């Protein structure tokens, strides 16, 4: 179990996504063209799922790949240069939207994230949520 927890890692480079999992330790590679859907928003209340770590006001950004794999970009353990993940997601989101990847975005519950985050971060989240074609 510890191996599974420590080994699930997703790496996003300039042109591909590599998803390392317990069942695929060598990693599955995807191009950005393999992204079929984006879902983003802010959680409104704590989920009732056991072992869930999502709370009211948490921002989420989920990409779905053509094989059904879902990657939660807001569950990053860190970034290469230490930059906050919301800044990186904003750049990726702009690229993905310009590629005409379908995006479902909701401003519902946005006010909850403003309770615990500084304006610089909530501005990034707002930009992401409002960036649709």
Asked if pLDDT for residue 1 goes beyond 50, the answer is no
Average pLDDT, the chain: 86
How many structural domains compose the chain?
1
Q: 123: Cβ–Cβ under 8 A, 6 or more apart, which residues?
A: none
- In this structure, is residue 17 part of a structural domain? no
64 and 70 in contact (C-beta within 8 Å)? yes
pTM of the model as a whole = 0.85
- In this structure, is residue 61 part of a structural domain? yes
3 and 20 in contact (C-beta within 8 Å)? no
Q: How confident is the model at residue 56 (pLDDT cuts 50, 70, 90)?
A: confident
- In this structure, is residue 46 part of a structural domain? yes
- Domain hosting residue 102, numbered range: 33-130
- In this structure, is residue 23 part of a structural domain? no
pLDDT given at position 4: 46
Residue 29, beta-bridge partner list: 18
């Amino acid at each position: 179990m510890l191996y599974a927890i420590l080994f699930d890692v997703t790496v996003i480079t300039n042109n591909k996504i590599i998803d390392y999992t317990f069942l695929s330790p060598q990693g599955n590679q995807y191009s950005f063209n393999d992204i079929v859907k984006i879902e983003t928003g802010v959680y409104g209340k704590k989920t009732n799922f056991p072992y869930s770590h999502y709370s009211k006001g948490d921002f989420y950004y989920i990409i779905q790949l053509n094989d059904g794999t879902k990657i939660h970009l807001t569950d990053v353990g860190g970034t290469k240069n230490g930059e906050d993940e919301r800044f990186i997601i904003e750049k990726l989101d702009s690229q993905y939207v310009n590629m005409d990847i379908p995006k479902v975005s909701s401003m519902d519950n946005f006010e909850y994230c403003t309770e615990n985050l500084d304006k610089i971060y909530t501005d990034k989240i707002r930009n992401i949520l409002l960036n649709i074609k």
